[in-house]
Structure 1
Amino acid sequence: MFPWIIFIYHTFFSLLYWRYSLSHSADAARYFSAVNKVTPFKIGTGFIEWLVNRLYAIFSGSYLDYFFLFTLPGFIGLCLLYRIIIDTIPFELPRRVQLAAILFVMLPGMNFWTSAIGKDSTIFLGIMLFIWGMVMPFRRVPALMAGMLVVFLIRPHMAAIMGLSLISALLWSKRVSWALRIIGLSAITLLIVVMLPTITNYIGISSTNPSDVVDYIESRQGQNMEGGSSVNISQYPLYLQVFTYLYRPLFIDANSALALVVSLENLLWLYGSLLLLTAAFRNVVKNHYNSLFIYFNIFYVMFGTIVLATTTPNLGIAIRQKTMLLPSLGLLILMTYAVRLREKMSIQSNNTSI
């Protein structure tokens, strides 16, 4: 029954987003306006406009109809996320972990931003396909390729981060044979090299020289500063940029009812992230049967957060875009919580038997 509950719940957020977009500025309206334009195939925003235009040529529909249509990728992604939770916690889920998993999948931010016409719902499906493929990476190569392709078509720099994370995971994981490591490393490295010209062109870097990259980051820190949700991060040290990106607004920044809801959710993420500083997390990294999966998610969160945190001064944009990273972060938190709970239950059982 849970997929049906997710579907109804996610559709509610799609209606909420649709209603919000009627009276506020929203990218969804701009994407839907592509139905009346000639839209060539392009990477990034142009891909979503091209997709909407092609879909409308096949079957027309209203603005609300296309909200419902773009709800489906987000819904499928959430179902994959819950399936991954079940498959990667290698023992029967205690009731408290089940409730935590349900809360994770049904977080308002995870559902709201993936329920509208635009990049976020579609790229969320691509990322979840890739992470689902990482559960059994050598058996689910089509899922990995499909997920990477979807992410590349929408935000190619995120595809590069996924590829770099996979390379790092292959190098760190000790449970993957050298033959498979060499094959995987060769394939992913070749893929990144092929994608690199498109990525640099998309994000506006003239070359991959360190000086050009630094100039790009500094220029990004000064962009999107309009509006009340902007924060000047150019003077922040890296750890504050990361904290700002992942956990703000946090009540003292909240200037609206929506910001208060986001602050409450960020508080949950902050509490969950503190679990990653415990011995239980080290046990997950050391003892999990699928070390490649664990290391991929660790590197993906780490690389993705550093790149996005140093280039996103607008909290409104950060709130929306970090849905690309929260599934991996949440999976690591849930695994740690499950291991910690199991250890406590084991200690209590031993004390009782004594």
Structure 2
Amino acid sequence: MGAIIAILLLVGLAQWLKSSYIVKQPKLNKRYNWGVFFRIVGTIGYIVYARFFSGGGVDAWIYDNYAAAYAEYFRDFDFSPFYVESMWRNGQLFYTNFVAYPAAFFMIFTFDNEFGIYLLFSAVCFAGLILMFKAFRKNYFFLDQANLLFWILLFPALWFWTSTIGKDSFMFLGMGVVCMGITNKKLNYIYIMIGLAILYAFRPPTAYVAVLALGSFFILNLKDSWLLRIFKISAGLVIIIFLANYLSDQWGVEEFSNEELTELQSGTLRNNEYGTGVLDEKSGGIGSIPQGIVDVLARPFLWEIRNILTFASAIEINAVLFLLFWKRKSVVRFVKDSLTNRLSTFTLAFVFIYVVTVGLFENNIGLIARHRAIIFPFLFLMAFAYDEKVKRAYQKFMWQSRMKMQEQIKTKEKVEQRNL
């Protein structure tokens, strides 16, 4: 029963999010429906992976214990888990603890059905991806919509890793809401603030990266006067200093020196050295940034494949790199226009800062494979933002419209001459 309820909720959500332009275009509509179907496939696949191939368990089982405890309170309309600090995991309301709240409600909706709970988390990710697609469509005139929707909805990393209890699904939802608030004409601050709130609730470091990336299109805007740019840069520096002081208190770092960063890095890396996906040890603070970037954007290499996890991770990242190379003209155009398009500026800034931070503080293939998934929609956008076929089709349509208009004008003139 719970599985059926979850499927109905997923289908209902998908129908609600489906815009009229998707319905009117058979290719988009077909890929959209396949995207919904693969949410179900991904959920089944993840359950099989967790039980038979995970090598000792998955994070979802830990979240499940907390969620089950919270669900017992919520069933009695007792919402004390939200405000009683002693009930929070690790004494923190946000981050890992916050995942248990939606999981608890999903348990209630699906009568504790494992498939149903996982599928609803996958549905949240689906909603976020569709919002990102809609935001991309609004900002890029020559966007190859069909191929972008195909890669966003059917790329395995985006329907597999998010088909479970975890933070990743809500990362896509938060990022989708943030992107909906970014256009070249104006910014919708309500969307941006809601999106940042979602990101902060489930993974504060990602929210910090998003804030820094949002600041990039305020500072790096060629349309502004030099005086306004100086003012924005000054304001940005104040915000960065404030954020740095806040993070230093949170992380126990007295100063942002290379030595302090190395110590923080070593302690963080020890926390994710488990399982069979551990990479070579890295340290050295800022000096390890190049290695970290390679870890996130290229590893595991094909010769490092040891199990099904590293095999899947290697295939997915190589597929993305091949796509970017294949569509390199669009990527180059995207980068060139980044200073005049707010979403492009945000995309490049977010991808760069995120890759650097993940590369610095993670050295586990499983963690990197899950966490780097959030940048894939942006990389797909870079590949399909400027498509020559779409541009030629638009130019042909405009030429035909112009010729048709000229014929109508000539016909009207002939009729007027006859009447005279």
Shared fold by TM > 0.5?
Answer: yes
Are residue 301 (structure 1) and residue 334 (structure 2) matched?
no
- Equivalent residue for 1:36, pick from 51, 54, 69: 69
Q: How large is the RMSD of aligned CA atoms in angstroms?
A: 3.5
SS at 2:304 equivalent: coil
247-256 or 222-231, which deviates more: 222-231
> Matched residues in 2 for 1:16 and 1:185: separation?
50
- Equivalent residue for 1:122, pick from 147, 150, 170: 170
> Matched residues in 1 for 2:59 and 2:32: separation?
28
- Equivalent residue for 1:22, pick from 51, 76, 84: 51
Structure 2 residue aligned with 1:150:
198
- Equivalent residue for 2:256, pick from 183, 204, 209: 209
Quote the offset at 1:289 in angstroms. 9.3
> Matched residues in 2 for 1:257 and 1:18: separation?
15
Quote the offset at 1:234 in angstroms. 1.2
Gaps of at least 5 residues in structure 2 are 1-28, 71-80, 82-86, 396-420
Q: How many residues align?
A: 338
Identity of aligned residues (%): 17
> Cα–Cα, structure 1 residues 340 and 296, in superposed 2: closer, same or farther, change >3 Å?
farther
Quote the offset at 1:110 in angstroms. 1.3
8 Å contact kept, 1:247–1:267: yes
Quote the offset at 1:169 in angstroms. 2.3
Quote the offset at 1:118 in angstroms. 1.1
- TM-score, scaled relative to structure 1: 0.81
Q: Which residue identity lines up with residue 113 of structure 2 in the other structure?
A: S
8 Å contact kept, 2:32–2:149: no
Quote the offset at 1:248 in angstroms. 1.3
> Matched residues in 1 for 2:233 and 2:113: separation?
44
> Matched residues in 2 for 1:293 and 1:321: separation?
21
- Equivalent residue for 1:322, pick from 372, 375, 379: 372
- Equivalent residue for 2:273, pick from 209, 221, 225: 225
Gaps of at least 5 residues in structure 1 are 347-354
SS at 2:182 equivalent: helix
8 Å contact kept, 1:13–1:111: yes
SS at 1:230 equivalent: coil
Structure 1 residue aligned with 2:142:
91
- TM-score, scaled relative to structure 2: 0.69
Structure 1 residue aligned with 2:15:
none
8 Å contact kept, 2:121–2:164: yes
Q: Which residue identity lines up with residue 241 of structure 1 in the other structure?
A: G
> Cα–Cα, structure 1 residues 140 and 115, in superposed 2: closer, same or farther, change >3 Å?
farther
- Equivalent residue for 2:217, pick from 156, 162, 169: 169
> Cα–Cα, structure 1 residues 334 and 193, in superposed 2: closer, same or farther, change >3 Å?
same
> Cα–Cα, structure 1 residues 153 and 136, in superposed 2: closer, same or farther, change >3 Å?
farther
> Matched residues in 2 for 1:89 and 1:188: separation?
30
Deviations 1:126-185 (A, max 9, x none): 112212322358342221111100111111111111111111221112235787996899
> Matched residues in 2 for 1:92 and 1:44: separation?
35
SS at 2:277 equivalent: coil
Greater C-alpha radius of gyration: 2
- Equivalent residue for 1:239, pick from 266, 281, 290: 290
> Cα–Cα, structure 1 residues 231 and 75, in superposed 2: closer, same or farther, change >3 Å?
same
